[in-house]
Every structure is written in C-alpha cells, then in structure tokens.
Amino acid sequence: MTRLSILLAMALLFCSGLQAKVFKISTEYPDGNAVLNELRAVGERIEAKTEGRVTFKFYPGGVMGDGTAVQRKIRIGQLHGTFIHSGALADSYKNSQALNAPLLFRDFDEVDAVRAEFDSVLNQGFIDSGWHTYGLIEGGFAYAMTAVPATDMETLKSQKLWLPANDPFSEKIARAFGISPIVLNIGDVLTALQTGAIDAIVTPPVGAITLQWYTRTQYLTDAPFMYTYGVIALAEKAVQRLSEPDQQILAEQLTASSKLLDSMARSDNLQAFSALESLGINIVQLPPAVRTALEEEAAQATEKLIESGEIEQDLYDRIVVVLDRIRNP
C-alpha cells in the first residue's frame, strides 16, 4: 500500500469516526418495561437504517437522576436526551404544561379533540425551545388515590399528599388548592406509604400498579385530576451533529415510535384502571354537585397559574374553546 493510499484510508476512517454518534438517553422506566423495550427497538432500527452511524444507549430506572439532574447532564454533554414528562421541560417551554391544568378534561374524548388541534402546536413549541421532540406521548389521567374515601376537596386537603420532587408546576397546583404537599423522589414513595409519612398520591393507574403503590391505598377518586404526557426529547446540538439524511431517519423513526407509545399508553392505562378494581381498590364517584364545585375550584387554581406565568392565557383560552364546543354542541 502506498503512502497516499494509507493517508486516504486514515482520512476515511477519521471521517467515519466523526459521523458516528452514540445517543445516551435517560428514562425513569425500569428494565423489562414495554416502553423501554420499544425505545430499545427503535434504537436498533435507527442503527440499522443509518448503517451504524447512529446508535443509542439507554439508562433506565432513573439512574441518571430526576428531571433537573438529567437536563444538567444534557447541557454538559454527559447525556444527549431523555424520555421525560412534559412539566420537567417547563423552564424552557412554559406552555408544555397547558394540558396539565387541573381537572381540565373530563374524559379521553375531550383529550383527543384538544390534542387533534394542539399536538402540532405544542411539539413545535418544544422544538423552538431547543429540544428535538417527535410527538406527544400520553401518560394518562392522574387520579387521587387515598387511604380514606375522598368525596370532597376538604377530605383531600386533610391528607398527607405526595408530589414528585422537582415538579414545581404540580406543587403550585396543590398550593393553589390550599394543599401543602409532601415532596419526595419517586423511589421514596412506596416506603413513605408503608410508614405513613404520606397517605395520598396522585398518579396514573399504570404507575400505581407498576410501582406497587396501590398496595398502600384503598380508594381512587374517579375525577381525572390531571392529564399527563411525556416526550422523547433530544438536545438540539446533538441532533445537529448528524448528517441531513441521518437526521431524517432519526425523525421518521422516533416520530413513528412516539405514535406507537402514545397508543400503547392509552390502552395500558384503561386496562390498569380496570385492574385496580380487581386488586381491591374502591372507586369513589363524586356527586354531581361536588364535581361541579371541584371543577370551579380547579378553574380558579388555573387562573392563579396563568397569572404567575405558568401557562399563556391565549393558549389556555383556545383550548377551553374546543372543550366548550364539545360540552355544548
């Protein structure tokens, strides 16, 4: 081999090395979970379609810390992305919380109608804020689960209610209702329930079952307190290092995977809600008058959140127009 051919071979190898990119992704989902299985599967599809130029390494079970810690690691390049709940990205995109307003929705039909009009708006908002996201992924309705039946707000206020650490929006919602929550990391919740440090949680049914929290509660109040969703979010600087064709493959595959995960979550949470009844959880139905009063109090709490800049008034008003159209045809 001539010296020139050696130099050319070294140059090609060097260029190839520059193109190769390992995306290090954090998630709170544990190993073996269906969501993490799909994330790994889409990573393998992307690797195959880019002929190994783009690969993924996933860090499950929250080993990289909470949302704040993960974002810090993304900023310094230790991680390149995350599957994260929307509220955790509120520092960069406030309106990510617009669908999280308390008691905003009554059922999934209302969710579907609003998302049909606003998914693209919210996804573009993440992108404009420096995150590459690929569609909203449903987390489900979060319900209050308690040790005693909570048929009114006063009963709920009297509970030792857990909220996740580093989730200021949820904490502000609680305080807008006059609730003083107990803030803990997710990994500490079961122990806190077992010891009585907390006796009430707000969570989607899948979370209650997966994390075994239902074993320490007896009642679920059938009023969806909050709609939750997440996103696969990659740092813009990490994505921009890829060639245009590889960026297109990445976007196509992650968009398709986000749609699949979104559909899976709806099915899983509906099944989990039914499963909670079979596991001995009592479903508490609110009397119509109590439900109306609770929704009115929730609307007042939302106004406080808007006044503090957590959600833009214009976007919230546009969502309410869609809901009014459904409720008053």
What's the 3-state SS for the chain?
CCHHHHHHHHHHHHHHHHHCEEEEEEECCCCCCHHHHHHHHHHHHHHHHCCCCEEEEEECCCCCCCHHHHHHHHHCCCCCEEEEEHHHHCCCCHHHHHHHCCCCCCCHHHHHHHHHHHHHHHHHHHHHCCEEECCCEEEEEEEEEECCCCCCHHHHHCCCEEEECCCHHHHHHHHHCCCCCEEECHHHHHHHHHHCCCCEEEECHHHHHHCCHHHHCCEEECCCCEEEEEEEEEEHHHHHCCCHHHHHHHHHHHHHHHHHHHHHHHHHHHHHHHHHHHCCCEEECCCHHHHHHHHHHHHHHHHHHHHCCCCCHHHHHHHHHHHHHHHCC
The whole-number pLDDT of residue 175 equals 83
Confidence tier at 6 by pLDDT (50, 70, 90) = very low
Total number of domains in the chain? 1
Does the pLDDT of residue 286 top 50, yes or no? yes
Model confidence, pTM: 0.88
Q: Over the stretch 141-188, which tens digit does the pLDDT of each residue have?
A: 999 999 999 887 788 788 999 988 777 788 888 888 888 889 988 889
The greatest distance separating any two alpha carbons of the chain, rounded to the nearest whole angstrom, comes to 87
Query: Tokens 């909203």 appear where?
Result: 136
Q: Is the pLDDT of residue 115 over 70?
A: yes
Q: How confident is the model at residue 20 (pLDDT cuts 50, 70, 90)?
A: low
Q: Are 163 and 174 in contact (CB under 8 A)?
A: yes
pLDDT score of 1 more than 90: no
pLDDT surpasses 90 at 5 = no
User: CA-CA distance, 33 to 61, in Å (whole number)?
Assistant: 10
Least confident of 19-23, 216-220, 273-277: 19-23
> β-strand 54-59 against 21-27: which pairing, if any?
parallel
Q: What percentage of the chain carries pLDDT values higher than 70?
A: 94
pLDDT of residue 12: 40
pLDDT exceeds cutoff 50 at 30: yes
Residue 88 has pLDDT above 50, yes or no: yes
Over residues 295-314, the mean pLDDT reads 91
Residue 3, pLDDT above cutoff 90: no
Tokens of 193: 């329930």
Question: Residue 172: what pLDDT?
Answer: 83
In single-letter form, the type of residue at position 185 comes to: N
Residues 6 or more apart from 237 whose CB is under 8 A from it? Answer: none
Give the C-alpha distances (Å, rounded to integers) separating 155 from 41, 102, 222, 226: 45, 17, 15, 18
Interval 6-35 mean pLDDT: 68
Domain that holds residue 221: 3-327
pLDDT at 2: 54
Compute the mean pLDDT over every residue in the chain, rounded to the nearest whole number: 90
Q: Pick from 110-114, 290-294, 295-299 the range whose average pLDDT is largest.
A: 110-114
The mean per-residue pLDDT over the stretch 24-43 comes to 93
Q: Tell me if 70 sits within 8 A of 26, measured CB to CB.
A: yes
**% of residues, the chain, pLDDT over 90:** 71
Whichever domain contains 26, its CATH number is: 3.40.190.170
Q: Is-contact 60 36, C-beta < 8 A?
A: yes
Q: Please answer whether residues 213 and 150 qualify as being in contact, where contact means their C-beta atoms are separated by less than 8 angstroms.
A: no
Token pair in block for residue 128: 């404009």
Predicted pLDDT of residue 7? 41
